[in-house]
Structure 1
């Protein structure tokens, strides 16, 4: 495609090419407006829509077009749960997507209750459902796996006294607990600073007074992450402190646009392999054209979600129970590797357990280029 798409409508999607018959519909959940992280949502949707295009170019689902029905969750768990109920009434064969962990958890709970298979693309919160379910599968790694890898990177880089600027959230609290539990037996300490109670300047005072060697941003983007980064970068007392953002805020172009050079050298977690194979390279090129910017790992997650669902729908039919029963038998070549699902303790869902995990940052010499710092 030669031009980036216009913003997607909240209810429709591209029609199939070279296919006929009634469409096979899948529900798609994504944060497309604020207060959701809309930039991530649009990358997720771009990957989903590109994969739908490719599926339909290849003949669809047994000659029927695959049609996504998109709903904007806007980072609202109640809105997501209502969308799941609506999409279930519309007769979708399965659900896909979502970026925010707390929102995905609400969607997964409703999908489980209603008996609608849900392949979660991006959310990482370990306990995605309150109880084990056969209806939900996930592509992104559990938070405990990724954040432990991040903690190992911190220790390897010489950081044992780490401050965390945090906002209240189940997701941030879970991340903080993972870091503490992993670092403490290895000689690391974690100091929690409540960002709600501290201005950026007051936060800098706390960092200087506690002699932290690294500060992690467990906060939203762009507010308050951007003002905090600017304040730390400009405080001479903190010239040697490292800034980290394990949740991935620096992945997107908006981070670089707002922070410029200040946004470089902020390590974060990214779910891509060191090198993409032929499929990943082809998809990456097409995503770049569609987005008019470098695709994030979230866009690849979106593509892989549809690739998995399309294979399941082709091989196991469009009956919801049949789709859910197929999770343990899936074997699909995705953009980032071969995708299979197994039961991972503590998650309650079918989990791709070979998701590639990297710690990367933006290169200070060229902030539009990423450096791989650690792999796990």
Structure 2
């Protein structure tokens, strides 16, 4: 899928019409989390179809120009340069935080508006920028909500196993600081390779009541879950995955019942409104499976950018004040952007956050455990 260009045009329109282009970034091949990328792109494509069915942008078709980042920051930065040369009006997308950070920094340097769909790393850019906005809650907010859930459930000594990554390191720091301020403790366990079984011994020795997986899927996450589930010493240990790995169908397919009752963060409201319900049904048909929250994020990204492009008028470049003027209806509520204290990018401060898990009695169904 590398270098793929997706064009979604309104029915019956002459292809000679000038298009309004949005550059779309998504991880569509390995080592990227391509399942998330597929959901993200499906949401963006569906929104483009809806915009074009409603007449496009001032009568001009909206077009996605898609580039596969494959979870590579350098590749993402190069894609931003290419898309800028192609004359896109704005950038959209990306799932991996470290990749989104590279794209955001390059967009800031070029003065090209970028609406980040799904990446949560707080420091999306090194400096304060007027060009970048983000839809999902920042990691500092979402992961604190997750820590509050753990504390409310009675967990005070919590173990974590993490792979080396700026994203995982940042998440662990947020959890550690928030827990410590409220009487909790975060204990870091080593991640032995290639066999993660010793994690169970370390977990039993530490006496932690919960184990958080800050690791990739399918491995080593799947092997660790299986090992913990089969260790009688750890029968009462909660397994958690705050980054959202259990959201996707591949998790349930790999682990079956073992993958249930593992709480994770999901960025959906408790109930979808009419737009969200319609988009959810359309995404299910397009994906041939239940849509993840990432699909809704993709749809909302394009919906917001289309609203901005309509309101400003075709041919007028977006400016540094663009995000402050946004008030768009999304699948998960009305979207407005603000500047949080200390934040480097514009942020949807009211983005929904849930802690959910798969129901052990019916792993295809999600249970909402906590909202923030």
**Distance (Å, rounded) in 2 between the aligned partners of 1:342 and 1:38:** 31
Which residue is equivalent to 2:159?
163
> 1:156-305 counterparts in 2 under 5 A?
156-196=152-192, 199-305=195-301
The answer on whether the counterparts of 2:121 and 2:167 sit within 8 Å (CA) in structure 1 is yes
The answer on whether the counterparts of 1:167 and 1:196 sit within 8 Å (CA) in structure 2 is no
**Distance (Å, rounded) in 1 between the aligned partners of 2:139 and 2:327:** 23
**Structure 1 348/321 Cα, relative in aligned 2: closer, same or farther at 3 Å?**
farther
1:138 aligns with 2:140: no
Which residue is equivalent to 2:43?
47
The match for 1:107 among 99, 103, 107 is: 103
Which residue is equivalent to 1:15?
9
Q: Provide, for residues 257-278 of structure 1, a one-character-per-residue CA deviation record: whole Å limited to 9, x for no partner.
A: 0000000000000000000000
**Distance (Å, rounded) in 2 between the aligned partners of 1:127 and 1:270:** 20
The match for 1:359 among 338, 350, 355 is: 355
TM-score (norm 2): 0.97
The answer on whether the counterparts of 1:142 and 1:347 sit within 8 Å (CA) in structure 2 is no
Superposition RMSD in Å: 1.4
The answer on whether the counterparts of 2:113 and 2:318 sit within 8 Å (CA) in structure 1 is no
SS in 2 for 1:302: helix
**Distance (Å, rounded) in 1 between the aligned partners of 2:58 and 2:317:** 18
For structure 1, the residue ranges without an aligned partner over 5 or more in a row are 1-6
Q: CA deviation at 1:193?
A: 1.5
> 1:48-67 counterparts in 2 under 5 A?
48-67=44-63
**Structure 1 318/156 Cα, relative in aligned 2: closer, same or farther at 3 Å?**
same
SS in 2 for 1:137: strand
After the TM superposition, which segments of 4 or more aligned residues of structure 1 sit over 6 Å from their partners?
none
Which residue is equivalent to 1:337?
333
SS in 2 for 1:186: coil
**Distance (Å, rounded) in 1 between the aligned partners of 2:164 and 2:317:** 37
**Structure 1 317/283 Cα, relative in aligned 2: closer, same or farther at 3 Å?**
same
Q: Provide, for residues 340-368 of structure 1, a one-character-per-residue CA deviation record: whole Å limited to 9, x for no partner.
A: 00011233111100001000000000000
The answer on whether the counterparts of 1:18 and 1:56 sit within 8 Å (CA) in structure 2 is no
Q: CA deviation at 1:325?
A: 2.4
SS in 1 for 2:197: helix
Which residue is equivalent to 1:4?
none
**Distance (Å, rounded) in 1 between the aligned partners of 2:59 and 2:71:** 35
How many pairs are equivalent?
370
The answer on whether the counterparts of 2:192 and 2:199 sit within 8 Å (CA) in structure 1 is no
Q: Provide, for residues 136-193 of structure 1, a one-character-per-residue CA deviation record: whole Å limited to 9, x for no partner.
A: 0110110000000000000001100000010010000000000011000111000111
1:121 aligns with 2:124: no
The answer on whether the counterparts of 1:108 and 1:129 sit within 8 Å (CA) in structure 2 is yes
The answer on whether the counterparts of 1:249 and 1:268 sit within 8 Å (CA) in structure 2 is yes
Q: Provide, for residues 296-340 of structure 1, a one-character-per-residue CA deviation record: whole Å limited to 9, x for no partner.
A: 000000000000000000111355742542210100110000000
TM-score (norm 1): 0.96
